[in-house]
Structure 1
Amino acid sequence: MSSEKITLKSSELLVVNEIFWAESYKFLLSYGYQLRPRYHPEWVPSEPKHHPFAKQCEDSLTSYNSNALDAVRIKDSQKVVLKRVNSGNELDVFRRLDALRSDARNHTIPLLEVIPFPSTEWTFIVMPYCRPFNSPPFHCLDKFVSAMTQYIEGLQFMHEHNIVHFDIAPQNMLMEESRLIPKGSHWCHPDSHTGFSWHFFSWKNRCGKESARIAGTLRPFPMIPELSLTVPYNPFYVDIFQFGLAMSRIIDVYPALEDFRAVTASMTVDEPYARASLEDALEQLNCVYTEMPPSFRRKRIWETGTTRWRKATRIVLGGRWDHWMWS
Structure 2
Amino acid sequence: MSTPSESTPPEIPSIKPGELDQDEVWWRDHQVWLQERGYLLRPRYRPDWVPSWLAGKGKYYDYEDGQRLPHGQLIDAMRVADGATVVLKQVLRTEHPYEVAITGFLTSESLKSNPKNHCVPIHEVLQVPEDGNIQILVMPLLRKFYDPRFLTVGEAVEFCRQAFEGLQFIHEHHVAHRDISDLNIMMDPRPLFPQLFHFARPSETQDMRGTARYYTRTRYPVKYYFIDFGLSRKFDPAAGPPRSRPIWGGDRSVPEFHRSLGPCDPFPTDIYYIGNVVRTVLLQEYRGLDFMQPLVDEMVQTEPGKRPTIQEVVSRFELLMGSLSTWRLRSRLATRNENWLIRSIRVIAHAFRTIFYVLIFRPALPKP
TM-score where L is the length of structure 1: 0.86
1:5 matched to which residue of 2?
A: none
2:236 matched to which residue of 1?
A: none
CA distance in structure 1 between the aligned counterparts of 2:63 and 2:275, rounded to whole angstroms? 41
2:359 matched to which residue of 1?
A: none
Rg larger for:
2
Which of 205, 215, 225 in structure 2 is aligned with 1:213?
225
Matched, 1:42 2:48: yes
CA distance in structure 1 between the aligned counterparts of 2:166 and 2:172, rounded to whole angstroms? 10
CA distance in structure 2 between the aligned counterparts of 1:316 and 1:188, rounded to whole angstroms? 34
Please show how residues 24-173 of structure 1 align to structure 2 within 5 Å. 24-48=30-54, 52-87=58-93, 88-99=97-108, 100-120=111-131, 121-173=133-185
- Preserved CA contact (<8 Å) 1:251 1:261: yes
Distance 1:261 1:14, change over 3 A: same
CA distance in structure 1 between the aligned counterparts of 2:346 and 2:315, rounded to whole angstroms? 33
2:256 matched to which residue of 1?
A: 226
Distance 1:308 1:255, change over 3 A: closer
Q: What CA deviation, in whole Å up to 9, does each residue of 1:169-225 have, x standing for no partner?
A: 1111101011111121221122332486x9434211202520011011466120111
Amino acid at match of 1:93: I
Matched, 1:311 2:346: yes
Matched, 1:245 2:276: yes
Amino acid at match of 1:226: E
CA distance in structure 1 between the aligned counterparts of 2:295 and 2:137, rounded to whole angstroms? 36
Mean CA deviation greater in 158-167 or 9-18: 9-18
Aligned length: 309
Which runs of 5 or more residues in structure 2 are unaligned?
1-14, 231-247, 354-368
CA distance in structure 1 between the aligned counterparts of 2:202 and 2:17, rounded to whole angstroms? 25
Amino acid at match of 1:247: V
Please show how residues 270-285 of structure 1 align to structure 2 within 5 Å. 270-285=302-317
SS in 2 for 1:13: coil
CA distance in structure 2 between the aligned counterparts of 1:193 and 1:314, rounded to whole angstroms? 24
- Preserved CA contact (<8 Å) 2:193 2:212: no
Instruction: Give the C-alpha shift of residue 286 in structure 1.
Output: 2.7
Which runs of 5 or more residues in structure 1 are unaligned?
1-8, 319-327
CA distance in structure 2 between the aligned counterparts of 1:30 and 1:225, rounded to whole angstroms? 48
Instruction: Give the C-alpha shift of residue 275 in structure 1.
Output: 0.4
Mean CA deviation greater in 131-140 or 264-273: 131-140
Instruction: Give the C-alpha shift of residue 148 in structure 1.
Output: 1.1
CA distance in structure 2 between the aligned counterparts of 1:230 and 1:311, rounded to whole angstroms? 47
Identity %: 26
SS in 1 for 2:319: helix
Instruction: Give the C-alpha shift of residue 226 in structure 1.
Output: 1.1
Matched, 1:296 2:302: no
Which of 11, 14, 23 in structure 1 is aligned with 2:20?
14
TM-score where L is the length of structure 2: 0.77
Amino acid at match of 2:190: S
CA distance in structure 1 between the aligned counterparts of 2:314 and 2:85, rounded to whole angstroms? 33
Matched, 1:259 2:259: no
CA distance in structure 2 between the aligned counterparts of 1:12 and 1:303, rounded to whole angstroms? 36
Instruction: Give the C-alpha shift of residue 89 in structure 1.
Output: 1.8
Instruction: Give the C-alpha shift of residue 288 in structure 1.
Output: 2.7
Distance 1:261 1:193, change over 3 A: farther
Instruction: Give the C-alpha shift of residue 302 in structure 1.
Output: 2.7
SS in 2 for 1:171: coil
CA distance in structure 1 between the aligned counterparts of 2:193 and 2:265, rounded to whole angstroms? 39
